[in-house]
Amino acid sequence: MIYKKYLLLGVSLCMLNACNESKSVSLEGSLDGIQADSIYLYQVDNEHYGSVKLIKSIAVTDGRFAYPTDSVQAGLYCFSLQNMERGEYLQQYANLFLEPKSMQLTLGKDKYDQLSLHATGSALQEQYEALQEAKYVAGNRMVLDSLDHMFYEAREKGDREEMERIREVSSPYYESASEQTRKLINGEIAKNKGSYFGLYLYYTYRFQNHTFNTVEEIDEARNFIGSFDEASRRSGIYVKMQEGLDKFARCATGSVAPAITGIDLKGNSVSLNDFKGKYVLVDFWFAGCSWCRKETPYLLKTYNAFKDKGFTIYGVSTDRREEDWKKAIEEDKSYWNQVLLQKDDVKDVLESYCIVGFPHIILVDPEGKIVAKELRGDDLYNTVEKFVNGAQNKEMCFLTHKAVGWECPVYCFFFYGIWFFFEGMIWFYYR
């Protein structure tokens, strides 16, 4: 009996081990036409800007390698022959959707000598590759690549006239490509709503390129991503989006503007709080930002129109070199309240204001609350005009009828109604 018990126990343990072994999955890979001792696996954070994080250096033996995927978090990764930890710029890489599944991968070079891969075993990778092909067609890349090639040839020859001609010819193609790609992505997000691939599309093509300025926008985004399946809501990008929305909520319109302190042109410390009681247009910029400086004429127009009406501009520069900052102010004649952030403060200030790009121009009310964001061009002037003149009209009304204590619109209606009545009576009597 004892022998049988031990025999059964041994069989059970063997079956358990076999079960565990069967659950073990990995990525099996090989190199085709490439000689390397190691390859490097990165997690892709921002596909548009090439922002990646090194995950693992994988040894290559006789042209083959393996990587366990049991506990891998589904998402977009990339392989490269370069190690960014050495300070190299990641020039050649190939994207791959990894899943906790058994997968097969071949790394090679394409006809342009760029790193390429072929993978099987991942449904997400198949969707990703199909999307890239659809984007190529929608973006009319065959035509645009040809035009780009012609442009580069003209530039090498120094033929400016030909370069300008190609720009003019290319412009409608680029506009059409942008519109068609946008429609494609919108359709793919709608088609894959609720699945991880749809969440990836929303994160990559909508969330990462957008600043959520209002509570309504934030709530809409939360509701949208909350409609995805449970597996998607456990993913890393879902957590990133929730954290991002929490951050945006802290600097949405209606929230208190975070503290800012910088050094002005005279070397004095000047804080945003120094301008409490005024409407303040906060302009985040730097000298090398051409788009920032294109807003200067609109800023000048706005400043000159309202500087004597409880309004000012607080320019916040992130320039590393003080001389660049001062030179730009001199060139643009932007002599309002300009401050240069100290190097150690730049990151905190940008994060506290949810700034993902420049220029970033907001309007802060006299109580220190953000009332408008993402201001540009004529909209910049019109927004300031609305708030400043609206505040002045309200104050005028209040001062005129302060003694009465009634709400201004009600009182004004009552007062001017009586006034027009008596004016009419006088006119009727003396006519």
CATH number at residue 66: 2.60.40.180
Above 70 in pLDDT, residue 218? yes
Burial class (CB in 10 A: 0-12, 13-18, 19+), 193: middle
pLDDT for residue 390 = 79
User: Residue 310: is its pLDDT beyond 90?
Assistant: yes
> Does residue 333 have a pLDDT over 70?
yes
113, 180: one domain? no
Do 114 and 132 have their domain in common? no
What would the pLDDT profile of 152-208 be if each residue is shown by its tens digit? 999 999 999 999 999 999 999 999 999 999 999 999 999 998 899 999 999 999 998
CA-wise closest residue to 98 among 22, 185, 229, 196: 196
pLDDT of residue 51: 84
**Of residues 216, 363, 204, 222, the one with CA closest to residue 281:** 363
Of 4-13, 135-144, 274-283, minimum mean pLDDT range: 4-13
Helix (H) or strand (E) holding 26: strand 26-31
Residue after which a domain boundary falls, among 137, 167, 191: 191
* Residue ranges of E strands in 32-74: 38-46, 51-59, 64-68
Q: Is the model's pLDDT at 86 over the cut of 80?
A: no
- pLDDT at position 397 is 52
- Please tell me the distance from the alpha carbon of residue 212 to that of residue 413, in angstroms, as a whole number: 40
Q: What is the pLDDT of residue 413?
A: 46
pLDDT at 415 over 90: no
pLDDT in tens, 226-253: 999 998 999 999 999 999 999 899 889 9
| Tens of pLDDT, residues 57-73 | 999 999 999 999 998 98
Residues 320 and 266 in one domain: yes
3 pLDDT exceeds 50? no
Say yes or no: 178 and 276 in one domain. Answer: no
User: Could you report the per-residue pLDDT of 28-44, keeping only the tens digit for each?
Assistant: 999 999 999 999 999 99
Number of domains observed in the structure of the chain? 4
75-80 β-sheet, strand order: 51-59, 38-46, 75-80, 94-98
Residue 55 · residue 41 · CB < 8 Å: yes
pLDDT at res. 57:
95
- Specify if 222 maps to a domain: no
- Residues 277 and 381 both lie in one domain: yes
Which of these, 409, 289, 413, 310, lies nearest to 358 by C-alpha position? 289
Of 162, 191, 220, which marks where a domain is finished?
191
Res. 419 pLDDT band, cuts 50 70 90: very low
pLDDT digits (tens, 9 = 90+) for 111-165: 888 999 999 999 999 999 999 999 999 999 999 999 999 999 999 999 999 999 9
Task: Verify that 186 and 280 share a domain, yes or no.
Answer: no
Q: Determine the structural domain holding residue 50 and report its residue range.
A: 24-121
pLDDT value of position 85:
73
Domain end position, chosen among 168, 191, 214: 191
Q: What is the mean pLDDT of residues 216-220?
A: 93
Please indicate, yes or no, if residue 96 is contained in any of the structural domains: yes
Residue 158 and residue 44 share a domain? no
287-301, 310-324, 332-346, 406-420: least confidently modelled range: 406-420
| Same domain as 128, residue 114 | no
* Same-domain check for residues 55 and 150: no
Q: Does residue 137 belong to any structural domain of this protein?
A: yes
Residue 323 parent element (H or E): helix 322-332
Quick: pLDDT tens for 356-411. 889 999 999 999 999 999 999 999 999 999 999 876 665 555 444 444 444 454 44
Q: Which of 47, 74, 72 is nearest to 58 (CA)?
A: 72
Residue 13: inside a domain: no
The amino acid at 187: G
**Model pLDDT, residue 430:** 45
